[in-house]
Amino acid sequence: EDQVTQSPEALRLQEGESSSLNCSYTVSGLRGLFWYRQDPGKGPEFLFTLYSAGEEKEKERLKATLTKKESFLHITAPKPEDSATYLCAVQMRETSGSRLTFGEGTQLTVNP
């Protein structure tokens, strides 16, 4: 069965304390993986698309990486404004259109 698992469920960091969020997937054929950020009461905000193992993308304090089994979202020197729920989603080869399968998310809190 295709599955997307994010860990940890929740993460508390002090400002400036770097860490990583994990998204592991067991799918029969990965077309691509997306990272989103969601603030309370808002819709998900697109961050990155990763297509192939070994790929890396960066944006400000965030860097996303992809292997054949998982993706990491590295947060370097986070600030309180990085507090949000981070969602990963996969698109599988055999699915039609742009169907995404989301993980349950990691709720990140960065304390000042």
Asked if residue 97 lies in contact with residue 1, where contact means CB atoms within 8 angstroms, the answer is: no
Considering CB under 8 A, how many residues would be counted as binding other proteins?
24
Tell the smallest beta-carbon distance from residue 30 to other proteins (Å).
Answer: 11
Sign of CA dihedral 4, 43, 54, 28: positive
* Candidate list 49, 72, 74, 83; residue touching other proteins; CB under 8 A: 49
Among 13, 62, 105, 110, binds other proteins (CB under 8 A): 105
CA–CA gap between residue 96 and residue 30 (Å, rounded): 13
In Å, the largest CA–CA distance within the chain is 44
59 contacts other proteins (rule: CB under 8 A): no
Q: Is 78 in the site for other proteins (CB under 8 A)?
A: no
* Binding of other proteins by 100 (CB under 8 A): yes
